[in-house]
Amino acid sequence: MKAIKLDENIYWVGANIHTEDLFEGIWPIPHGVALNSYVVKGEKIALVELVKEWGNASQTLIRRLRSINLKLSDIDYLILNHLEPDHTGFTHLLKSINPDIEIVATEKGTALVDAFYGIKENVRAVKTGDTLDLGNGFVFKFVEIPNVHWPETMATYEMKSKILFSSDAFGSFGVHKGSIFEDETPQAYLPYWENEMLRYYANIVAMFSPMVLKAIDSLAGVDIKMIAPSHGLVWRGKPEVVINKYIRYANYNRDHAEPEICLIWGSMYGNTEVMVNAILKGIASEGVPVTVHRVPNEDVSFILADAYKSAGLVIGCPTYEYEMFPPMKYCLDLFKKKHLWYKKVLFFGSYGWSGGAQKDFDELSKSMKWDMLEPLTFRGHPTDEQFEKGVKLGTELAREVKKIPSKIKNEEYGMK
């Protein structure tokens, strides 16, 4: 198990893990996740980002360090860009093994070092513009990027190599497949990374999109040769590709989503289900790409990714005890939490007696900045006229979605 060289005296010492555990206790990671950690060897030695004891990650880190003749006790500085425990869980044990190690984080980060791990001694707070000289020409410069993903987050820029250790920014779910570098990744693997990166963004980062754009603005003048995030690929060939990808993602909840539709449905006895095909027929007549998901059968993590990128949403939901079908309500609660704003939306569904799902839906979606089409609700099984109406509404939604200008101008955000 070897360290992987990024540049002279700079190595990746992270771990690719597969686990049945849910990421953050919520999100499935069927393709695993990379916990990236890096070593910079100046006269002093720094570890940038850590791992948590998850899927053998800490042993993997120790073995990779050993491959470059380093032990945990040799590390002088531990740079914690972000305190979420997927990157810091091993801190307590590392400090026990190496009590002299100095931990570097933002001021808010140092409070969490204490809160999570009870460590107060030998902790240094840094702010934007502060530097740390490791010797042999290696100098870290710190840039606070609050709320990408937590308030204490910063990025660390190594000035000699021009490598940006970007924390969660530009990260992804998924393990590396044969190489940690994007420029060694075969074309055939790119759809895998696209999916895992979008799902990571929609699940973890979406709510913080304005801060992502702000962070990218604050890095606009920095000469970046390589981006080394805390998850996913290391962007060595063309770092601007992932920056532009993140700009695009950040704009999906600012009225610049893709001209696509995501249809999500749930059904108790098939009456809501039978309307799905009528609406799909209308959408198909306009040739608009569509993804279809059923709740509760599919995990909301995957639904979020498709819904987040799509300009149009169709919500098919029956009434359940005077309200929305509970799994749909959970799904839409997460849409609200993750700021899936500015969508063109069609709601439909069956009810038996008094109805109530639509009223519940109207209340829940009030603050979502959604542009609603006329809803289509029906008692029991839909009639032929209602099926026709479903086709018409599907067509109408698809036409609305086609009008949306999806392509944003990256240069608006200071990127080359």
Residues found near ligand FEO in the complex (CB under 6 A): 82, 84, 86-87, 149, 168, 230-231
DSSP character at residue 8: T
Is the CB of 171 or the CB of 259 nearer to ligand FEO?
171
Is the CB of 172 or the CB of 319 nearer to ligand FEO?
172
Is the CB of 212 or the CB of 262 nearer to ligand FEO?
212
CB of 35 to ligand FEO, least distance (A): 8
In DSSP notation, 191-209 reads HHHHHHHHHHIIIIIGGGH
CB of 171 to ligand FEO, least distance (A): 6
Angle at 101 between CA 99 and CA 105, to 5 degrees: 125
Cα–Cα dist 264/313, whole Å = 8
CB of 201 to ligand FEO, least distance (A): 12
Q: Is 353 left (phi over 0), alpha (psi -120 to 50) or beta?
A: alpha
CB of 120 to ligand FEO, least distance (A): 23
Cα–Cα dist 151/82, whole Å = 9
Is the CB of 195 or the CB of 285 nearer to ligand FEO?
195
CB 35 within 8 A of CB 87: yes
Cα–Cα dist 308/322, whole Å = 28
Is the CB of 60 or the CB of 230 nearer to ligand FEO?
230
Residue in the shown chain whose Cβ atom is closest to ligand FEO: 84
Residue 43 burial class via C-beta count within 10 angstroms: exposed 0-12, middle 13-18, buried 19 and up: exposed
CB of 232 to ligand FEO, least distance (A): 10
CB of 249 to ligand FEO, least distance (A): 16
Closest CA to 156 of 174, 147, 169, 175: 169
Is the CB of 168 or the CB of 360 nearer to ligand FEO?
168
- Alpha-carbon dihedral angle through residues 64, 69, 73, 79, given to the nearest 10 degrees: -60
